[in-house]
Structure 1
Amino acid sequence: MPKHAPLERNLEPAQPEDVGLSREGLAAVDAAVQQLIDQGTLAGALTLVARHGRTVHVNAMGSKDLASAEPMRADTLFRIYSMTKPVTATAMMILFDEGRWALDDPIGRHLPELANLAVIGQHLPDGSYTTEVAAHAPTMRELMTHTAGFGYGLLPTTAFDRLYQKAAIWKSANLTEFCARLATLPLAYQPGTKWAYSLSMDLQGAIIERLSGQSLPDFMAERIFTPLGMQDTAFHTPAEKQGRRATLYFSEKNGPLIPIANPLAPDHETPPALALGGSGLISTAGDYARFAQMLLDGGELNGHRIASREAIALQMRNHLPDTMLDAGYVAGHQRLRPGFGFGFNGVVFTDPALAGIPVGKGTYHWDGAAGTWFWVDPENDLLFIGLIQLMSYSAPPLQATTQTLMADAIVR
């Protein structure tokens, strides 16, 4: 956890030089983002930097909505998609602290319908498939690290993904039905033998509901959002806040920005029955910074303890063997490799020099489908939030770009 520990770490404003950051360095980070706005790659962006528990930089650039020319603002709401995943990991760690689950538990102990899953063998020409017995039941540790054997199935990319789509998993009414539909299908591979980006975090949401007796939105609101003061983070956008939500855009191969409806799930006005722990949250830069600061401070913010220091350390520690890092598994801009491992629901830098990115050792990060990104760097006691509104197969790698530029902004 952070080496530097001033008395107040509640994200109050400070000047960059007060916390060892260069104004010129911060300006260079934003200039790289602004250039993408100027050339039409992005509609707008919002960046936030905090160090030693103090917010030193918030910059809203470009437009929240191009048609109306409404500018981006510090309180703009964004669909953060997979940046939901680290929040779900922390929700799981709260229950871990309470002794509700253990790393080596079989998933079926908590989701009995998934207790006896087979593993797919061969896909046959008629669309059927063969199966084989699982070498072992997938475990909770594997569920937390995308190694349990599940796929994702959001797009019909592979024959296995098409099985998920045929079962209409993503059209389930709630997480109970989600699990029931998934139980009719085999695993994509033998548990623990590979890393594959998957719906594991959505299953974590189902486990949170089973173990807590609350809906996932209620659990997160009560145990994370309310104590952290995250007033604008939820699985829905109430009517009175919808005017603050950034317009979502799509582009392909540097084409024009086209406004689109949410392609992954409906935008809800009230808490949804099917709340997805892998992709469902709406948030702001300020709210997510409070979550990130809690991670930096070992599970606590401003006197409110969310999870134990030990649980958060477990979340932000690499859990993959070197053989998986050598395999170079990829999910979007994230390419696992030596020095660049995976904790619970997020990347962990074990050797930044080997990974080729100048962050501190132990940096934990993830991103989202609409281009949002964040990281927390315990060694440098720093957090960064970047929010945009672009869904694109050719989106710029802003996380790596800003991490590289931020290294020059740290002067002491």
Structure 2
Amino acid sequence: MQTASPQSEGFDPDRMCRIGTWMDRYVAERKYAGSSLLIARGGKEVYFNAAGARDVEANLPFERDTLARIYSMTKPVTSVAIMMLAEQGLFHLDAPLSDFIPAFADCTALVDGATGLDQVTRCQTPTLHHLLTHTSGLSYPFNPGVLPAAMEEKGLIFRADQGPLESVVDQLAELPLAFQPGSRWEYSVSIDVLGRVVEIVSGQSLDQFFAEQIFAPLGMTQTAFSVPTGSESRFASLYTPLAGDAMALNAAQEGGNPLRLIDHTDTSAYRSAETFSGGGGLVGTIDDYMKFCEMIRCKGSGNGNRLLSPKTVDFMTRNHLPGDIASMGPSSFAEQPMEGMGFGLGGAVVLDPARARAQGSVGDFSWGGMASTFFWVDPVLDLSVVFFTQLSPSSSYPARPQLKSLVHGAIVQ
């Protein structure tokens, strides 16, 4: 990527200095161990900064080539994979999931107000579109409700060490859905299930498909489900401010140590992942993820290669819900605000910045990860922004709206 001065791309350099001050403050206040931020406008890099440590215990700095867990920022990658296959005419988005995974053929859904897994009614099988938009009836263990509790009991979170993807998906198919497909929005493992669909349709494992069909064409050489061999020292440690499970949002316990170490490179399952989580399993560098964002900004093309047509990217980045997310009665955790935000295929879409109470342009496409990473692509301002840090859960601090205010506050043209 070419670099350009902030002034030449419409930024006020003095105002951009506020961003580094903010990043340093988060480190000084022990909110984040470290972080990095990369901003591009019109395809030119205008800002990079890193602050703090990738490993507090070893006093190793957070740097540009630091490898981070991007968790749910994997979801847009899997959604792109699905659309790449759809462009080949291999399926349509209204196809039922059971066309690919027969275990989902006879679906049931919990009745309203259910208190047990036996209180169900028959329902339609969710479609691929339901899964892409989190309206499938699937859930996450950290959400409230009967299904999330059952998923928690069975450990259905698609961690890197839970065995082949096929096996985890088959276990999930044994449970009822949380609600009738299409009736609500609930953040879920649906994109993990779509990862299995990619495997079945393409005939490749998900890691192979990503590596050959997405990462190699875009030049994303540092992104994978496992930490690349020889890069272990660049892999950031993961921290939490909670005393208990950093993923157990329903029973979050405040802890005395705001940077409690919960995953270190020496013992991390990401050293050799065996579960290819299309919903949250990738690790990579900030420059690699910017290449993915730039492909979205450039309507499907990157590094001289075309992954998707411009029409398909436009389709993905439109709102696919009847209204905003809030209008669909969610009770789940989400990586974004719900009011004033719609949902496309793999990410959120700004419908009304005022209702979302965060600066942005109508049509912003974005998503984040549980370790507080975040990206957005703004088609109005021709802007791509990627933020990396490693603190779970991402709801710990209001960093994302603060960051958007900082970036927008530095744009003067």
Cα distance in 1, alignment partners of residues 145 and 268 from structure 2: 24
Distance 1:189 1:278, change over 3 A: same
Distance 1:322 1:28, change over 3 A: same
Structure 1 position 122, deviation (Å) = 7.3
Which of 231, 238, 253 is the equivalent residue of 1:241? 231
Which of 130, 133, 141 is the equivalent residue of 2:129? 141
Q: Deviations over 1:64-93 (max 9, x none)?
A: 211222211111110111111111111111
Pairing of 1:1-400 with structure 2 (within 5 A):
11-121=1-111, 129-134=118-123, 136-153=124-141, 155=142, 157-169=144-156, 170=158, 172-252=162-242, 253=254, 255-256=256-257, 257-261=259-263, 267-270=269-272, 272-322=273-323, 324-327=325-328, 329=330, 331-337=333-339, 339-392=340-393, 395-400=396-401
Q: Which amino acid is the alignment partner of residue 10 of structure 2? A: G
Cα distance in 2, alignment partners of residues 395 and 166 from structure 1: 25
Distance 1:254 1:50, change over 3 A: farther
Cα distance in 2, alignment partners of residues 289 and 278 from structure 1: 19
Q: What is the percent sequence identity of the aligned residues?
A: 35
Q: Which amino acid is the alignment partner of residue 150 of structure 2? A: L
Q: Which amino acid is the alignment partner of residue 377 of structure 1? A: D
Q: Which amino acid is the alignment partner of residue 152 of structure 2? A: Q
Task: Name the SS for the 1:335 alignment partner.
Answer: coil
Which stretch of the first structure deviates more once superposed, 249-258 or 382-391?
249-258
Q: Which amino acid is the alignment partner of residue 262 of structure 2? A: I
Structure 1 position 355, deviation (Å) = 2.5
Q: Given that residues 337 and 356 in structure 2 are in contact (C-alpha distance below 8 angstroms), is that contact kept between their aligned partners in structure 1? A: no
Structure 2 residue ranges without an equivalent (≥5): 243-253
Q: Which amino acid is the alignment partner of residue 144 of structure 1? A: L
Task: Name the SS for the 1:113 alignment partner.
Answer: helix
Structure 1 position 194, deviation (Å) = 0.4
Q: Given that residues 341 and 350 in structure 1 are in contact (C-alpha distance below 8 angstroms), is that contact kept between their aligned partners in structure 2? A: yes
Structure 1 position 178, deviation (Å) = 1.9
Q: Given that residues 143 and 333 in structure 2 are in contact (C-alpha distance below 8 angstroms), is that contact kept between their aligned partners in structure 1? A: no
Task: Name the SS for the 1:165 alignment partner.
Answer: helix
Task: Name the SS for the 1:260 alignment partner.
Answer: strand
Q: Given that residues 117 and 176 in structure 2 are in contact (C-alpha distance below 8 angstroms), is that contact kept between their aligned partners in structure 1? A: no
- Aligned residues: CA RMSD: 2.2
Cα distance in 2, alignment partners of residues 227 and 195 from structure 1: 33
Structure 1 residue ranges without an equivalent (≥5): 1-10
Q: Given that residues 367 and 374 in structure 2 are in contact (C-alpha distance below 8 angstroms), is that contact kept between their aligned partners in structure 1? A: yes
Cα distance in 1, alignment partners of residues 319 and 283 from structure 2: 27
Which stretch of the first structure deviates more once superposed, 27-36 or 369-378?
27-36
Distance 1:128 1:312, change over 3 A: closer
Q: Given that residues 324 and 338 in structure 2 are in contact (C-alpha distance below 8 angstroms), is that contact kept between their aligned partners in structure 1? A: no
Structure 1 position 186, deviation (Å) = 1.0
Q: Given that residues 93 and 129 in structure 2 are in contact (C-alpha distance below 8 angstroms), is that contact kept between their aligned partners in structure 1? A: yes
Which stretch of the first structure deviates more once superposed, 317-326 or 296-305?
317-326
Cα distance in 1, alignment partners of residues 255 and 50 from structure 2: 23
Cα distance in 1, alignment partners of residues 179 and 75 from structure 2: 22
Under a length normalisation based on structure 1, what TM-score does the superposition of the two structures give?
0.90
Which stretch of the first structure deviates more once superposed, 246-255 or 209-218?
246-255
Cα distance in 1, alignment partners of residues 223 and 394 from structure 2: 27
Distance 1:156 1:396, change over 3 A: closer
Task: Name the SS for the 2:269 alignment partner.
Answer: coil
Task: Name the SS for the 1:83 alignment partner.
Answer: helix
Q: Number of paired residues?
A: 396
Task: Name the SS for the 1:331 alignment partner.
Answer: coil
Cα distance in 2, alignment partners of residues 288 and 56 from structure 1: 16
Cα distance in 2, alignment partners of residues 285 and 386 from structure 1: 7
Structure 1 position 333, deviation (Å) = 4.8
Q: Which amino acid is the alignment partner of residue 268 of structure 1? A: Y
Cα distance in 2, alignment partners of residues 164 and 60 from structure 1: 37
Q: Given that residues 73 and 374 in structure 2 are in contact (C-alpha distance below 8 angstroms), is that contact kept between their aligned partners in structure 1? A: yes
